[in-house]
Structure 1
Amino acid sequence: MENTINYGIDLGTTNSAIAKFIKGEVIIFSNPQDYGRNTLPSVVSYKKDKITVGNKAKEFLEKDPKSVVGVFKRKMGTSESFKIKSINESKTPIELSAQVLKELKTFVNTGDNLDAVVITIPASFDTIQSNATKEAGIQAGFKQVVLLQEPIAASLAYANMKKEREMQEGQWLVYDLGGGTFDVALIKIKDGEMKVLDHEGNNFLGGADFDNMIVEKLVIPKICEKFNFSNLEDDMKSASGKLNAKYYVLLRRAEEAKITLSSKTSAEIIVDGFEDEDGNEVDMEIVITRSEFNELIRPNIDGTIKMIKQILTRNSLKPIDLQFTLMVGGSTYIPYVRSHVEEVLQIPANCEIDPTTAVAIGAAYYSATKPKEIEKTGTKAKTSISIKTSYNKASKEKDELFSARITGSTDSLSYRITRQDGGFDSGIKKLTERISEDLPLVDGAFNFFSLVVYDSQNNIIETDIEPIGINSGFGISGQPIPEDICLEVDDYDNPGKTRLQLVFQKNTILPSKKTLSYPLNKTIIKGSEDEVIRVNILEGSHLALPEANKGIGFMQITGKNLSRDVSKGSDIEITITISESRDLTISAYLNMADQEFKQTFNPKERHIPVNELKEQVEDLSGKLEFEIQEATDKEDFETAGALSKLKKEMETVSEETESLTNDDVTDKRYQLEDKKRKIAQEIDSATKNKRIQQVKAHYFEIKEECEKMLDENGNDHERKTFNDIVAQESVFFSTNSPLKIQEKSDELHSVLSRIRWRTPDFLTDIFQWCKNNQTRMNDQNQAKSLVDAGNFAIESQNWDRLSEINSGLLNLLPRGAEKEATTRIGFGL
């Protein structure tokens, strides 16, 4: 069995492809059902007795469009499913993708058992979408699925095509506009290694959108000019609409027209087969010109250029600093896309690679560097010698160190290492328990070596060693995460609310691991169900509100999970690990209980009911109005102006959301949810100055109080902590980051809290407040017992005991009442 994966798949929105790495080169497999074509249309058709994938499936669109599904990648990671009329069942995007993957297996004519594969995803795919893609691979029968971002795959294809002698160190952009998604990535080559520095993307922008726009903006208006329809668009786009079947027919014809416009200045779309509301037969030929089409898609292409400019600004670059823009994805065949991007950026549009197969080819190159990690079934033949190897599978060194540990008797045995091309021969050497060898590599190639063991008569001894392969071509330093990964924690500046603590910043290279420690803000009693420690992981900007981001992992610990009580102020350690393929593992360790709780998350669906989306949009509209009014009242006209610019966009989102039917068949709800989230982030950005002023005021308030408490009751360790924070003021104030300033406030607050909870006056005040609220406590008998004990502790001046009693009393109060007594501390509950 080969010890590397060697197969790569581009699972595309409109077309997919499969390729294999073989002896230093990549072959892309042809479609056996469509001679001469290397891609498979990502379309699935169902009949009662069979499933059809590809061009044959597309042919059934006009006959039975409600039994044919395409563009389902756009809904990957959602709870959406597609109702299949012919079988009276619903199929999820995962199930449909699995059918495409299974069909791609039939392209392979090498006789291999395809049990492991690299599957590409858009760089902007979030964790849920990534996990859904892996699940599709598992359902297709692959035992190991490794994910690779599409811009990286395209870059690997290009670099390995050009080889080292033709490649120069420097930076370029990958502009990947496919059938349903868009990515732009900034790539850098240095010392023979490629690195993704930054990226932007839109999971709802591609050729499928252009097809939709042709139908919605050009075809439907021209139909309505000649025929009588009260609401033709809804009749077509709603699943229950009487003309829903015709919508899919027009989409296919719009796609054909779009392709024609890449080589001709006009194209025709035939509209027929239905009647208007007056009973007139609709039968017309609509001519679409290239200039009309270009004007239609211009705002979208300008949007992609805006993303490029964001990347350049973030990285302090100008277009002149880049070598070229590598064009990838079927939609870059559109002449206007290439010319407009080149014209605006004033750098060459590089069209040297096939935009439809480059991603699959790059995936295959990458797959040759990924070891198979599949458990071998059956009984492995026993050998007298076992060899465990260690070496880098990708290296730009002239020589790569190879080492091995030998198990078994090595008496009278020797070994020899040779390179497959005959360019290296170690000669016969004595075999020992540990061996090492510098293996010379051919630049820009995959180097294969064999290690053979001999007995004293030079007979070959059977071993369990697998082929040694080292890539001296271009490798990738790792895959970056597309968005921040954050932990939800308490917002001390706004009691009762939460904020985000950054764990992994956008573009952090995977895999990655981080541990954070927080003091608990309340006592958790063993066996109790009411008090809960919640660990919530979100994906999105750490500067945004938690509700503006996407949840990817949630764990909770109750008293029923504990082996003993854990006191308020004791530490909880949160360790978050994220793998290269985006599996997220959360580990929570409670020091006092000496217990660890661990959970791995790979959510595959995000639920967005239309009604819930409408409520979220309405709430955000209200927040925007409030912020505009507040800024105007304070005569902060700069902020008010910035927010007002968002108002029109917010109104558009509101109108489009309100117009959605509950059974809308398009992916409009996901596009609108994405727009809503981005507006929420822009509101946060526009009100940043207000928040900076708030957190600065809070910082100085905490600082003053902390300084006073330190003078009265602080210890040397607390004074040092305080002085260290104050010494950094100029640094964290200059960042103008509310988050950084808030973090320092939190650190001061932690010092202040530790002092307070051993201060007699504070402890007495808390106790008195609890006594006054005794009737609100959920266990009156326990409350009376604790109050009696507290009175005795005050009389005897036993402040440690009073601290424990206060914690017990606070835990008997409703959560809202507890916040009245004391500021919430540390980790959010």
Structure 2
Amino acid sequence: MENTINFGIDLGTTNSAIAKFVKGDVVVFNNPLDYGRSTLPSVVYYKKDRIVIGNKAKEYLERDPKNVVGLFKRKMGTSESFQIKSINESKTPVELSAQVLKELKTFVNTGDSLDSVVITIPASFDSIQSNATKEAGKQAGFKQVVLLQEPIAASLAYANMKKSKEMQDGNWLVYDLGGGTFDVALVRIKDGEMKVVDHEGDNFLGGSDFDRLIVEKLIIPKISDEYSFEDLENQMKSASGKYNAKYYSLLNQAEEAKIRLSAVSSAEIIVERMEDEEGNEVDMEITITKSEFNNLIKDSIDGTIEMIKTILTRNSLKSNDIQFNLMVGGSTFIPFVRQHVEEVLQIPSNCEIDPTTAVAVGAAYYAATKQKETSKENSEKKQSSLSIKASYNKASKESEELFAARVQGDTNGLFYKITRQDGGFDSGLKPLSGRINEDLPLVENTYNFFTLTVYDSENNVVETDIEPIGINSGFGISGQPLPEDICLEVDDYDNPGHTRLALIFERNTVLPTKRTLTFPINKPILKGNESDRLWINVYEGPQASLPEANKLIGTIEISGKHVSRDIAKGSDLEITIKISESRDVSVSGYLNMSDQEFKSIFNPKERDTNISLLKGQVLDLSSKLDEEIELATEKEDYETASLLSKVKKEMESVAEEAEKLSDDDVTDKRYQLEDKKRKIAQEIDSATKNKRLQKASENYFEIKAECEALIDASGNDHERKTFNDIIKQEASFMATKSPLKIQEKSDELQAIMGQIRWRTPEFLKGIFAYLMENQAKMNDQSSAKSLIDAGKFAVESQNWDRLREINFGLFDLMPRGSKDEISTKIGFGL
């Protein structure tokens, strides 16, 4: 039984494919129902008695659109579902994707049992979209699903196609423009190792958008000019619209015209079998020219070029630092795409691999380096007198690779031999002991398979549980990069009542990864009190943004009903976050004081985008933008005002498009607008960065001077060292021009000041006096009186440790608003 996965699937927006790694090469399976094609259209048609997937399903788009669904990958990870009339049920993008995956299984004619698979996803897919893809794999019957980013798959396909000597150290790009998504990745090869350094992408840009532009910008206006219709576009795009079925028919024709325009100068679209509102039969033949089509998609392609420029700028590279731009995805068949990108960037377009199957091929190469979990389970169950646990790199560019193994069982009188499958290496019989170390010679640019066999003294084979040894001497990949920052939401002590993001993992961190941080909790948690709650919120998106501009992955709640004892304010909470290569996010919180651990695996599979809520959020963001422009103008900060004014044009466009959305809109416009809204929020944040930077810098230097004076007066050696360590880093964190990084250092200085102050008698007495004056505001007067009496005694007896505890107790009796007021007056978080 093969112990590596070997099967790779490109689960595409418009077309999907499946491939298998077989003894060093990759085989792409042909569609048994569509001779000569190796792809399957990602379209599903439901009839009462059967389900049809692929080309046959597409044929029903015009005849029976209420029962045909396509482009559902674009809604993966959302709460959207598709109402199927014939079965009177709704189907989610996950369920529909599972049907495509099950159909792809029928392509495999090798008799394999498909229980494990690598499935590709766009590099820009967030955690929820990734989890939804894994769920689709599980629903399709795969016991093990490993995710691989599409640009990495394309890179592997290309690198393993070329000979090692043809692959020079340097940088190249993967330009992946598919049917529904776009990714561009910067790939670097150094000393024979391939790594994805950076990426950009748009999950709502692809060939299907070009089809939509043809219909909405060319066909519908021409129909409206000739015939009498009121709001024809909305009547087509609304699920309850009179001409909704015709919309899908025209999209199908637009796709065919787009494909023809790659080879000819014009293409025709027939509009018939519909009446206008005055009862006139529509009968038109609309000609689309290549130049019209190119002009139509130019802005979209220019957008992809801007993403490439962003990557180059971020990595301090110029066009001449890039060897080539590898063109992948069906939409790169469009001549204008290849030519325009090359002309603008002056980077050669590389079209050496089949753009429609490259991703599936790369996924299969990757699958050959991943061990089956089912294989592990079987090996554990397998009974043998000897157990051999092997360790070796499954991908290597060295001429030899070290194979190491630990042997458990009686090895007395036994021997072993390792042979390479091609017969080019034979270790000869060697005495077997508790450990095996062997340098295995590798054939370059191929997969090397070895067999380890154990013999007794009479050369009879002794059964063991070791699997065949496979090592790829072609190009591998050094891990998958994280698409976005992963952050925790923490209190912003400079803005009481507000929060900010603390960076846990930076984008492009190689997965898998793990990190542990410790935070003091900002309020007590009393055992049994359900109203005492602490939330650990994990966000995905730029750390510099506000929490609301990013995507919430998940939350761990710790309340009084969960803790085994009272937890004092300031107690340490240890948070550990792990992210697997397939983007499983595991979070655990450990409370030192109660010796309790709270765990959760965040794998939400859908995100709801309510149209009414979206419209409200867009209005709120518009108001915030207007306020920022007004504030910048009042302060004569014309540079910021100008930047924000440019953003305002985008905001107005989004607001206008959002207002047009009907509640039953059938397109994925809501998700595109949600994405745009989030990006605009980030742009507003970025444009006002200078204002926040100046405030953060001024605040830092004020706190620095105050902290130094306090250390000179009452600090100890440890506090002095901590202070000096921060000051040594000053040039570095100031140079980042990041308000958040500067704020973090201010917080560290505040923490030092807090440690000193909370053991200083004068400060403790001052806090106690302030709290006594505010006794009337406290929630529990009986407890307050008891604590105040005890505090007076502590002052008289100069028991400063006891007075510190009493101050914390009194502080926690204050209403929330008063707590914030005290924090502000004292100058640091309590």
TM-score range for the pair, normalised by the shorter chain length: over 0.9
Q: Which amino acid aligns with 2:755?
A: R
Counterpart residue number, 1:486: 487
Contact 1:520 1:825 in 2 (8 A): no
Structure 1 match to 2:332 = 332
Question: Partners in 1 of 2:435 and 2:825 — Cα distance?
Answer: 58
- In structure 1, what is the equivalent of residue 117 of structure 2? 117
User: How far apart, CA to CA, are the structure 2 residues paired with 1:791 and 1:826?
Assistant: 25
Match of 2:262 in 1: 262
Aligned to 2:700: 699
Give the superposition deviation at 1:378: 11
Aligned match of 1:323: 323
Match for 2:31: what amino acid? Answer: N
8 Å CA contact 2:153–2:361 kept in 1: the answer is: yes
Shift of 1:792: 2.8
The answer as to 2:440 corresponding to 1:439 is yes
Matches within 5 A, 1:241-256: 241-256=241-256
Partner residue in 1 for 2:429 = 428
Partner of 2:767: 766
Shift of 1:124: 0.7
Report the CA distance shift for 1:165/1:826 in structure 2 as closer, same or farther (over 3 A).
farther
C-alpha offsets along residues 339-359 of structure 1, whole Å, 9 cap, x if unaligned? 101111112111111000000
Identity %: 72
The residue correspondences of 1:47-86 to structure 2 (distance < 5 A) are: 47-86=47-86
Task: Give the Cα–Cα distance (whole angstroms) in 2 for the partners of residues 8 and 203 of structure 1.
Answer: 21
1:347-746 matched pairs, under 5 angstroms: 347-374=347-374, 376=377, 380-746=381-747
**1:674 is aligned with what amino acid?**
D
> Which position in structure 1 is the counterpart of 2:156?
156
Give the conservation status (yes or no) of the 8 Å contact 1:266–1:287. Answer: yes
Q: What displacement does 1:772 show?
A: 4.0
Partner SS state of residue 136, structure 1: helix
Mapped to 1, the partners of 2:312 and 2:184 lie a distance apart of: 11
AA of the residue aligned to 1:698: N
- Range 289-298 or range 657-666, more displaced: 657-666
> Offset at 1:715?
2.1
Q: What is the alpha-carbon distance in structure 1 between the residues aligned to residue 489 and residue 382 of structure 2?
A: 52
SS at match of 1:405: strand
The 1-side partners of 2:282 and 2:820 are apart by 67
Contact 1:766 1:821 in 2 (8 A): no
Contact 1:769–1:821, Cα closer than 8 Å, also in 2: no
Give the secondary structure class of the aligned counterpart of 1:725.
helix
Give, in whole Å, the separation in 1 of the partners of 2:739 and 2:380: 60
Q: 1:24 to 1:828 in 2, by over 3 A?
A: farther
Task: Return the offset for 1:379.
Answer: 9.4
The 1:448/1:229 distance shift into structure 2, 3 A limit, reads same
Secondary structure of the residue aligned to 2:270 is strand
Partner amino acid, structure 2, of 1:517 = T
TM-score (norm 1): 0.98
> Is the Cα contact below 8 Å between 2:823 and 2:829 reproduced in 1?
no
Report what 1:236 is aligned to: 236
Q: Deviations over 1:475-495 (max 9, x none)?
A: 001100111111111112211
**Partner SS state of residue 288, structure 1:** strand
Q: 1:634 to 1:381 in 2, by over 3 A?
A: closer
Equivalences, count: 829
Give the Å deviation of 1:142: 0.4
Q: Which moved more, 1:786-795 or 1:439-448?
A: 786-795
Deviation at 1:828, TM superposition (A): 10
Coordinate RMSD, CA, aligned = 1.8
In structure 1, how many angstroms separate the alpha carbons of the residues matched to 2:561 and 2:251?
56
Deviates more, 1:749-758 or 1:470-479: 749-758
Paired with 1:98 and 1:165, the residues of 2 have a C-alpha distance of: 41
Q: Please identify, of 588-597 and 12-21, the stretch whose mean Cα deviation from structure 2 is larger.
A: 588-597
Partner of 1:191: 191
Could you tell me how far 1:501 is from its partner in structure 2? 0.9
Tell me, in whole angstroms, the C-alpha distance in 1 between the residues paired with 2:364 and 2:129.
22
For the Cα contact (< 8 Å) 1:79–1:606, is it kept in 2? yes
* Structure 2 residue aligned with 1:100: 100
> Is the contact between residue 75 and residue 667 of structure 1 (CA under 8 Å) also seen in structure 2?
yes
Match of 2:46 in 1: 46
Equivalent position SS for 2:523: coil
Structure 2: where are the runs of 5+ without partners?
none
Task: Read off the aligned partner of 2:558 and give its amino acid letter.
Answer: I
Deviation, structure 1 residue 546: 0.8
| Shift in CA distance, 296/824, structure 1 to aligned 2, threshold 3 Å | farther
- What amino acid is aligned across from residue 759 of structure 2 in structure 1? R
SS of aligned partner of 1:475 = coil
Give the C-alpha shift of residue 531 in structure 1.
2.1
Residues of 2 paired with 1:719 and 1:527: CA distance? 41
Q: What corresponds to 1:306 in structure 2?
A: 306
- The answer to which of 10-19 and 811-820 deviates more is 811-820
Note closer, same or farther for the CA distance 1:825–1:654 as it changes in structure 2 (3 Å cut): farther
**1:380: Cα distance to partner?**
4.2
Equivalent residues of 2:750, 2:828 under 8 A apart: no
- Which runs of 4 or more aligned residues in structure 1 lie more than 4 Å from their structure 2 counterparts after TM superposition? 377-381, 823-829
Tell me, in whole angstroms, the C-alpha distance in 2 between the residues paired with 1:604 and 1:379.
32
Describe the shift of the 1:676–1:213 C-alpha distance in structure 2 as closer, same or farther (beyond 3 A). same
Name the aligned partner's letter for residue 752 of structure 1: M
Which is worse superposed, 242-251 or 349-358? 242-251
1:379–1:391 CA distance, 2 compared to 1 (3 A): closer
Checking the alignment, whether the CA contact within 8 Å between 2:8 and 2:118 is kept in structure 1 is yes
Q: Distance in 1 between matches of 2:83 and 2:308?
A: 38
The amino acid across from 1:344 in the alignment is V
The 10-residue stretch of structure 1 (819-828 or 746-755) with the greater mean CA deviation from structure 2: 819-828
- Deviation per residue, 1:108-132 (Å, 9 max, x gap): 1111110000000001111111111
Tell me, in whole angstroms, the C-alpha distance in 2 between the residues paired with 1:507 and 1:107.
Answer: 35
The one-letter code sitting in structure 1 at the alignment partner of 2:779 is: N
Please give the secondary structure, in 2, of the residue aligned with 1:822: helix
In 1, the alpha carbon distance for the partners of 2:546 and 2:799 equals 43
C-alpha deviations, 1:493-526, integer Å up to 9, x for none?
Answer: 2111111111111111001111112222222222
Structure 1: runs of 5+ lacking an equivalent: none
- Call closer, same or farther: CA 1:800–1:231 in 2, change over 3 Å: same
DSSP 3-state at the match of 2:279:
coil
SS in 1 for 2:278: coil
Q: Is the Cα contact below 8 Å between 1:192 and 1:475 reproduced in 2?
A: no
Q: Distance in 2 between matches of 1:369 and 1:42?
A: 27
Superposition deviation, residue 823 in structure 1: 4.9
Moved more, 517-526 or 306-315: 517-526
Moved more, 611-620 or 723-732: 723-732
Given that residues 493 and 698 in structure 1 are in contact (C-alpha distance below 8 angstroms), is that contact kept between their aligned partners in structure 2? no
Distance 1:324 1:96 in 2: 37
- AA aligned opposite 1:558: S
- 1:84 aligned partner, one-letter code: I
2:36 equivalent in structure 1: 36
Q: Is the deviation greater in 622-631 or in 813-822?
A: 813-822
Deviation at 1:824, TM superposition (A): 11
* 8 Å CA contact 1:519, 1:825 repeated in 2: no
With the length of structure 2 as denominator, give the TM-score of the two structures. Answer: 0.97
Q: SS at the partner of 2:162?
A: helix
Mapped partners of 1:738, 1:72: distance in 2: 40
State the distance in 1 between where 2:777 and 2:222 align: 69
Q: Are 2:142 and 1:142 aligned?
A: yes
- Mapped to 2, the partners of 1:819 and 1:702 lie a distance apart of 19
Q: Residue type of the partner of 2:341?
A: V
| Residues in 2 aligned to 1:108 and 1:697: alpha-carbon distance in whole angstroms | 66
Moved more, 751-760 or 364-373: 751-760
Distance 1:689 1:417, change over 3 A: same
Q: CA deviation at 1:775?
A: 4.1
Change beyond 3 A, Cα 1:89–1:778: farther
Partners in 1 of 2:140 and 2:817 — Cα distance? 50
- Classify the secondary structure of the residue corresponding to 1:743: helix
Q: Kindly provide the CA deviation profile for residues 67-86 of structure 1, in whole angstroms up to 9, marking residues without a partner as x.
A: 10000000001111111111
Secondary structure, aligned partner of 1:476 = coil
